[in-house]
């Protein structure tokens, strides 16, 4: 082990020339498992995989080889495919291309491995192969980058995900990692690095889309005794899992990005701000940091360059508002995570009063790549004003869900139709919600909007941190908006009144729209209308007057939903109807006399005792008593209960 | 209980400097070790930091992570991410509340159950998800919740 470390440091990391000598490459190939005499099994083991049972798959694979006394390497990697394929595994036989298989649960391991070793590939499990087109190719099996979900993506930032063991620094270095960092601290000054990043056109991947290089420069040019770099790895948006996936799959490239960014702003302390409760991600990033320290990539006087760096991990104690920069800093200082007025911006006056740069995980993942390939390379990807790629966590009702990376300029339609492959279970597309709890709805008509900061800004849409929820017609827009409003209402820090009170009122009004009042008389109706009339003006006050981004963007889902689906809101308010049949308070059921056999199942299960009748005779529902829970609808075997 | 106190003291002794920016990690560590923040622990931390107990309590209640009652024997975590919500997590949450009579972050009086909400677990294909002491229950329906809780109740009575 000591030998490998010495070899990697002396012969790879500190090697002067760009191209490594052949004999070094030979060893690296072995570490990368490109030339390997035993089979290698890669089992994806991110959170999504573990939920699907990847741990049992791992154990089953281990016992398969140990019981047969044959040698093989079994490696846990990060997630690379869609979540539908989990547990997703990859088998590499010596001299052959890698084969990918889907949904390999514990009991499938043995037949699958038996099959593969006897050249009999089970057709229902195979996804595709990866590798060269001539040597080692499996005939008749499609290449993985040609099949749906993978085909439309441009995986640059996620390029390493699922390909290597995230707990092995050796493998990362063998894949060319950390050389860029060493090259950077040896050859460039702080401001040169800022310059390169600025020239590349990299923009912050969450929210504002500010030029990363310019932000760094501003911090570097503020005179101070010390500076801080914070990597915001906390994504608490409901339905976002980009950062978690990266931390689980490729922690070393993130550390390299952090190290370069810290060097660029001359910070000696960097902090990774993690989300609470991310077990696997925490374990992997902690281990990766330990390894980096061992190899001297962080620490005192790194490779005699005179640059010191200490990377720490801190855990978010659970507050959505801490995604806002100044609130995040307050929480790091041991205070309530409440935002303050900007300016001064954190880049000039941040943690402990020192210049502080806060970047999110996706932004920092790009840094090492830009330094390695040059700003020109990065500028060649994407559109005129938005460079590079963007990662989304596609979830909801699409056929495929998972983390997706596309080139800037790709349309939203492309992601929905080509990557997520439309709606699952034969549903019908309704909208995409982009950007999480403070995001926007995109309906059929605006699906052709390109993923581009400028284009989206023009249409009044924000890029967001990566939430991408596809919804179909079985989803009620009003209910969905209410869900987000409830979330923001719970997470509002309470410092400024527009946000604290505005979210509460908006939530109340939305709830009154979908709730069944105790008495449906003219007074309650009037009250409801009065509320509804105020919604838009509350929203606009919140937008103008809230202190931080959380409050300013809180009405976004409501406003964009109202713009796109006004008729659905009106239906709820005037007709008291929910076309998706989601809103419990608005639905009542009737029993079809023709179909009802009088089996009494619905009457016995009804929690409100609202169903009456005589056995073997048709039953009936008392509308006043019905709470709309829908249990009778679900339990009826004869389809006699219908929604009114 | 003695054990918890000892553990708290041991953690506090590691943060002797009493710097304000150590406050949250200190509370997090105590909670990780003992499962919750007891009154005693908050008092001790206050003494170390030179802060009043109300200040620390105010800070701890601001954040979702901290709890002030011990975890139940069975700790339930429900994913309330967008995908899970669209697939009916709301009904699951309602059912748990109905069955146990507690809000997220609380513990039942008999100390058997506690539950909390998670913003997203990343298992969006399998929602709604309920995790009981680390064991995943996928694609839940409200009636499954009933049977899971019944089963846990029976199990705890046997012991």
| CATH number assigned to the domain comprising residue A96 | 3.40.30.10
Is A297 contained in some domain?
yes
- Say whether both A594 and A516 belong to one domain: no
Each residue of B62-84: pLDDT tens digit?
Answer: 998 899 989 889 999 998 888 88
Within an 8 Å CB–CB cutoff, is residue A244 touching chain B? yes
> What token pair was written down for A622?
């008392």
Determine, for residues B125 and A244 on separate chains, whether the beta-carbon distance falls below 8 Å: no
Is A582 contained in some domain?
no
Residue with tokens 């006043």, as numbered in its chain:
A624
Nearest-CB residue to A318 (from B63, B121, B125):
B63
**What domain range includes position A326?**
169-379
- Say whether both A467 and A482 belong to one domain: no
Is A182 contained in some domain?
yes
| CATH number assigned to the domain comprising residue A597 | 3.30.70.20
Task: Quote the pLDDT of residue A312.
Answer: 95
Share of chain A above pLDDT 90, in %: 60
Residue with tokens 């409440």, as numbered in its chain:
A338
Full set of structural domains in chain B with CATH: 2-62 (1.10.10), 74-158 (3.40.30.10)
- Say whether both A259 and A337 belong to one domain: yes
- The CA radius of gyration of chain A, in Å to the nearest whole number, is 28
Is A164 contained in some domain?
no
A621 Cβ contact partners less than 8 Å away, ≥ 6 residues apart: A588, A589, A590, A591, A610, A611, A632, A641
Each residue of A472-489: pLDDT tens digit?
Answer: 999 999 999 999 999 999
Task: Quote the pLDDT of residue A161.
Answer: 86
- Helix, coil or strand: residue A311: strand
DSSP state of A304: G
- Say whether both A538 and A404 belong to one domain: no
- Say whether both A321 and A246 belong to one domain: yes
List CB contacts (< 8 A) between A471 and chain B.
86
Within an 8 Å CB–CB cutoff, is residue A318 touching chain B? yes
- Say whether both A200 and A306 belong to one domain: yes
Task: Quote the pLDDT of residue A581.
Answer: 85
- Say whether both A247 and A335 belong to one domain: yes
- Say whether both A469 and A486 belong to one domain: no
Is residue A374 a contact partner of residue A366, using CB atoms and an 8 Å limit? no
ipTM of this model? 0.92
Is residue A359 a contact partner of residue A183, using CB atoms and an 8 Å limit? no
What residues of chain B have any CB closer than 8 angstroms to a CB in chain A?
Answer: 19-25, 27-28, 58-59, 62-66, 80-83, 85-86, 90, 118-126, 129, 136, 138
Share of chain B above pLDDT 90, in %: 50
- Say whether both A489 and A357 belong to one domain: no
Determine, for residues A238 and B85 on separate chains, whether the beta-carbon distance falls below 8 Å: yes
**pLDDT < 70 regions, chain B:** 1
**pLDDT < 70 regions, chain A:** 1, 207
B6 Cβ contact partners less than 8 Å away, ≥ 6 residues apart: none
Task: Quote the pLDDT of residue A48.
Answer: 85
Determine, for residues B20 and A334 on separate chains, whether the beta-carbon distance falls below 8 Å: yes
Each residue of A626-637: pLDDT tens digit?
Answer: 888 888 888 888
> What token pair was written down for A94?
């010596």
Determine, for residues A333 and B80 on separate chains, whether the beta-carbon distance falls below 8 Å: no
DSSP state of A21: P
- Say whether both A485 and A612 belong to one domain: no
Nearest-CB residue to A244 (from B122, B126, B138):
B122
Is residue A459 a contact partner of residue A449, using CB atoms and an 8 Å limit? yes
Is residue A249 a contact partner of residue A88, using CB atoms and an 8 Å limit? no
Is A26 contained in some domain?
no
Nearest-CB residue to B86 (from A319, A337, A471):
A471
Task: Quote the pLDDT of residue A473.
Answer: 93
| CATH number assigned to the domain comprising residue A562 | 1.20.1440.230
Determine, for residues B119 and A237 on separate chains, whether the beta-carbon distance falls below 8 Å: yes
In whole angstroms, give the CA distance from residue B63 to residue A317. 6
| CATH number assigned to the domain comprising residue A222 | 3.40.50.11540
| CATH number assigned to the domain comprising residue A440 | 3.10.20.600
Q: Examine the fold and report which residue of A426, A458, A475 is the final residue of a domain before the chain moves on.
A: A475
Determine, for residues A433 and B82 on separate chains, whether the beta-carbon distance falls below 8 Å: yes
Residue of A105, A110, A3, A31 whose CA lies nearest to A63: A110
> Nearest-CA residue of chain B relative to A473?
B86
Is residue A249 a contact partner of residue A80, using CB atoms and an 8 Å limit? yes
List CB contacts (< 8 A) between B132 and chain A.
none
How far is the alpha carbon of A115 from chain B, nearest alpha carbon, in Å?
Answer: 28
How far is the alpha carbon of A86 from chain B, nearest alpha carbon, in Å?
Answer: 10
Residue of A465, A456, A233 whose CA lies nearest to A328: A233
Nearest-CB residue to B86 (from A314, A315, A475):
A475
Q: Examine the fold and report which residue of A545, A575, A605 is the final residue of a domain before the chain moves on.
A: A575
- Say whether both A611 and A556 belong to one domain: no
Within an 8 Å CB–CB cutoff, is residue A337 touching chain B? yes
Nearest-CB residue to B62 (from A332, A337, A401):
A337
Determine, for residues B125 and A48 on separate chains, whether the beta-carbon distance falls below 8 Å: yes
In whole angstroms, give the CA distance from residue A501 to residue A514. 20
Determine, for residues A395 and B82 on separate chains, whether the beta-carbon distance falls below 8 Å: yes
CA-CA distances (angstroms) from residue B130 to B78, B102, B144? 5, 16, 10
Task: Quote the pLDDT of residue A207.
Answer: 67
Task: Quote the pLDDT of residue A1.
Answer: 62
With the C-alpha atoms ordered A232, A236, A239, A241, is the resulting torsion angle positive or negative? positive
Q: Examine the fold and report which residue of A431, A448, A475 is the final residue of a domain before the chain moves on.
A: A475
Nearest-CB residue to B21 (from A48, A236, A332):
A332
In whole angstroms, give the CA distance from residue A527 to residue A509. 10
- For the CA atoms of A496, A501, A504, A510, what is the dihedral angle to 10 degrees? -120
Determine, for residues B90 and A433 on separate chains, whether the beta-carbon distance falls below 8 Å: no
Determine, for residues B86 and A314 on separate chains, whether the beta-carbon distance falls below 8 Å: no
Task: Quote the pLDDT of residue A605.
Answer: 86
Is A158 contained in some domain?
no
What is the enclosing helix (H) or strand (E) of A46? Answer: none
Count of domains in chain A? 5
HEC letters along A553-611: HCCHHHHHHHHHCHHHHHHHHHHCCCCCCCCHHHCCEEECCCCCCCCCHHHHHCCCCCE
- Say whether both A470 and A496 belong to one domain: no
């Amino acid at each position: 082990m000591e030998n490998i470390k010495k070899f990697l440091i002396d012969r790879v990391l500190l090697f002067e020339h760009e191209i490594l000598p052949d004999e070094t490459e030979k060893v690296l190939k072995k570490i990368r498992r490109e030339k390997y005499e035993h089979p290698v099994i890669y089992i994806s083991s991110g959170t999504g995989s573990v939920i699907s049972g990847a741990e049992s798959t791992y154990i089953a694979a281990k016992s398969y080889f140990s019981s047969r006394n044959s040698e093989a390497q079994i490696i846990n990697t990060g997630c690379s495919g869609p979540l539908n394929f989990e547990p997703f595994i990859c088998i590499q036989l010596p001299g052959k291309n890698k084969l990918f298989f889907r949904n390999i649960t514990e009991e499938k391991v043995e037949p699958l491995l038996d099959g593969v070793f006897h050249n009999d590939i089970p057709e229902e499990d195979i996804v595709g192969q990866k590798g060269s087109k001539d040597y080692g190719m499996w005939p008749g099996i499609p290449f993985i980058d040609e099949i749906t979900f993978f085909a439309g993506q441009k995986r640059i930032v996620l390029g390493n995900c699922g390909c290597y063991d995230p707990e092995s620094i050796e493998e990362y270095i063998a894949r060319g990692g950390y050389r860029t960092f060493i090259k950077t601290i040896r050859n460039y000054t702080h401001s040169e690095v800022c310059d390169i990043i600025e020239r590349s056109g990299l923009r912050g991947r969450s929210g504002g889309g500010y030029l990363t290089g310019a932000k760094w420069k501003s911090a570097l040019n503020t005179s101070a005794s010390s500076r801080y770099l914070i990597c915001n790895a906390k994504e608490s948006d409901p339905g976002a899992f980009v950062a978690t996936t990266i931390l689980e799959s490729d922690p070393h490239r993130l550390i390299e990005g952090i190290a370069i960014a810290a060097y660029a702003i001359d910070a000696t302390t960097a902090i990774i701000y993690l989300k609470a409760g991310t077990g696997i991600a925490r374990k992997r990033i902690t281990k990766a940091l330990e390894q980096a320290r061992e190899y001297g990539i962080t620490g005192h006087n790194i490779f005699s360059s005179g640059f010191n760096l200490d990377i720490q991990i801190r855990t978010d104690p659970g507050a959505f508002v801490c995604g806002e920069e100044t609130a995040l800093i307050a929480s790091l200082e041991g205070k309530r995570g409440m935002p303050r007025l900007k300016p001064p911006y954190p880049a000039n006056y941040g943690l402990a009063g020192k210049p502080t740069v806060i970047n999110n995980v996706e932004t920092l993942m790009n840094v090492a790549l830009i330094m390695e390939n040059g700003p020109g390379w990065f500028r060649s990807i994407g559109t005129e004003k938005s460079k590079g790629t963007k990662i989304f966590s596609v979830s909801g009702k699409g056929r495929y869900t998972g983390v997706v990376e596309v080139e800037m300029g790709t349309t939203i339609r492309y992601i929905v139709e080509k990557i997520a492959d439309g709606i699952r279970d034969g549903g019908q597309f309704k909208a995409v919600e982009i950007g999480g709890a403070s995001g926007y709805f995109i309906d059929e008509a605006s699906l052709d909007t390109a993923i581009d900061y400028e284009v989206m800004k023009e249409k009044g849409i924000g890029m967001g941190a990566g939430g991408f929820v596809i919804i179909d017609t079985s989803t009620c827009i009003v209910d969905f908006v209410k869900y987000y409003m409830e979330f923001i209402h719970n997470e509002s820090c309470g410092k400024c009144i527009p946000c604290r009170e505005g979210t509460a009122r908006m939530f109340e009004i939305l709830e009154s729209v979908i709730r069944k009042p105790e008495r449906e008389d003219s007074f309650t109706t009037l009250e409801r209308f009065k509320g509804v009339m105020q919604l838009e003006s509350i929203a606009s006050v919140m937008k103008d007057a809230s202190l931080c981004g959380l409050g300013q963007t809180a009405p976004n889902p409501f406003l964009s939903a109202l713009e796109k689906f006004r008729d659905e809101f009106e239906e709820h308010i005037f007709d008291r109807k929910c076309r998706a049949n989601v809103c419990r308070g608005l639905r009542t059921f009737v029993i079809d006399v023709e179909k009802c056999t009088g089996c009494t199942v619905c009457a016995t299960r009804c929690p409100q005792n609202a169903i009456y009748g005589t056995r073997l005779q048709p039953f009936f529902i008392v509308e006043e008593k019905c709470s709309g829970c829908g249990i009778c609808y679900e339990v009826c075997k004869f389809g006699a209960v219908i929604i009114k | 209980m003695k054990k918890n106190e000892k553990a708290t003291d041991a953690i506090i002794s590691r943060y002797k400097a009493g710097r304000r920016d150590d406050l949250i990690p200190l509370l997090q560590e105590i909670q990780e070790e003992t499962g919750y923040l007891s009154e005693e622990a908050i008092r001790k931390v206050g003494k170390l930091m030179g802060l009043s107990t109300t200040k620390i309590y105010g800070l701890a209640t601001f954040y979702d992570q901290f709890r002030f009652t011990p975890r139940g024997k069975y700790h339930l975590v429900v994913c309330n991410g967008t995908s899970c919500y669209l697939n009916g997590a709301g009904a699951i949450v309602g059912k748990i509340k109905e069955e146990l009579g507690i809000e997220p972050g609380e513990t039942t009086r008999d100390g058997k159950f506690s539950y909390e909400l998670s913003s997203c677990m990343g298992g969006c294909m399998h929602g709604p998800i309920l995790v009981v002491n680390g064991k995943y229950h996928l694609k839940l329906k409200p009636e499954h919740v009933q049977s899971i809780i019944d089963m846990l109740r029976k199990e705890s009575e046997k012991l």
